A and B are shown apart, each in its own frame.
Chain A
Amino acid sequence: MNIAMHLERAAAFERALARLDPVEDTELFVVFLMRAGTHRVNAALHALGLTSGVMGGAAGKIGDLNHTYKPKLDVALPPAMQQAFKHLSLLENLRPEFVRGPRVLDHAMADACRAAYAGIRAHTDSILGAGVTP
């Protein structure tokens, strides 16, 4: 997907998140934060020229990441992307216990999730530039 579509998709997940409570709706809250974050990370990687927005990849570059670890990205990441990956990994690592497992977020963990997503936005926005939309 191209950068604009990634950002539209991120915004779509953000709109859905606004309807959800992190404790009552733990499972979709975690998944949708992860999805929105993944789209922003993909947009930033495309903007840096590290991956391709063409489905399946092009010009020797891989296409979109499904997760920070899949497919494997064998390039050196700038510090801002390293931080974005760290925040996104935090969200990804919640899945075994909170999405596929029996646990439910408490309010402190919900705040940590929101902070992780805010970190992803801040670091990817710094790459995408002031004109980033939506």
Chain B
Amino acid sequence: MTHDEHLVKARRIVASLEKLSLESDAMCVIDGAVIAGYNLGNALLHRHGVLPDVEHANTPSKLPVAPAQLPTAIQPAFAAFTELERLRLEHVRSPGACDTTLAKRAWQLLDEIRHAAS
């Protein structure tokens, strides 16, 4: 997808996330935030010439280069995305409990990525 298509998808996913409860849907908030992050992260990778429109990285752990080798301007966004991916690993894909605090943290991290992509 193109940079603009990714941003359209990300806006849709953020609107969907806003329908979820931080308290009772905490795990789903984290999972959904990573899906939004996928689109925002790839928008940034396209915008900054790291990947062409036809190539994508699912998450920071799947990047073709180490995060430290990304353009400096997008390193903070990918640092946030890395932590978001870790939350998903520990609390969505593993038995770690989820709560409102973690859901709020997921939103904070997502907002950092959104700010970078705006």
Residues of A in contact with B (beta carbons under 8 Å apart): 1, 5, 9, 12-13, 15-16, 19-20, 24-29, 31-32, 35, 55, 66, 99-102
Residue in chain A with minimal CB distance to B8: A102
CA of A55 to CA of B35, assembled, Å:
24
Q: Is the CB of A27 within 8 A of B9?
A: yes
- Known contacts A16-B28, A101-B1; is A27 also within 8 Å of B94 by CB? no
Residue in chain B with minimal CB distance to A31: B35
Which of A9, A31, A55, A66 lies in contact with B27, CB distance below 8 A? A9
Q: Is the CB of A28 within 8 A of B1?
A: no
A53 CB to nearest chain B CB (Å): 10
B33 CB to nearest chain A CB (Å): 10
Q: Is the CB of A24 within 8 A of B16?
A: yes
Q: For residue B21, which residues in chain A have a CB less than 8 angstroms away from its CB?
A: 19
- Known contacts A27-B13, A101-B1; is A16 also within 8 Å of B94 by CB? no
Residue in chain B with minimal CB distance to A9: B27
- Known contacts A9-B27, A16-B25; is A28 also within 8 Å of B32 by CB? yes
- Known contacts A1-B95, A26-B12, A100-B56; is A19 also within 8 Å of B27 by CB? no
Q: For residue A5, which residues in chain B have a CB less than 8 angstroms away from its CB?
A: 95
Which of A26, A55, A102 lies in contact with B94, CB distance below 8 A? A55
Q: For residue A1, which residues in chain B have a CB less than 8 angstroms away from its CB?
A: 94-95
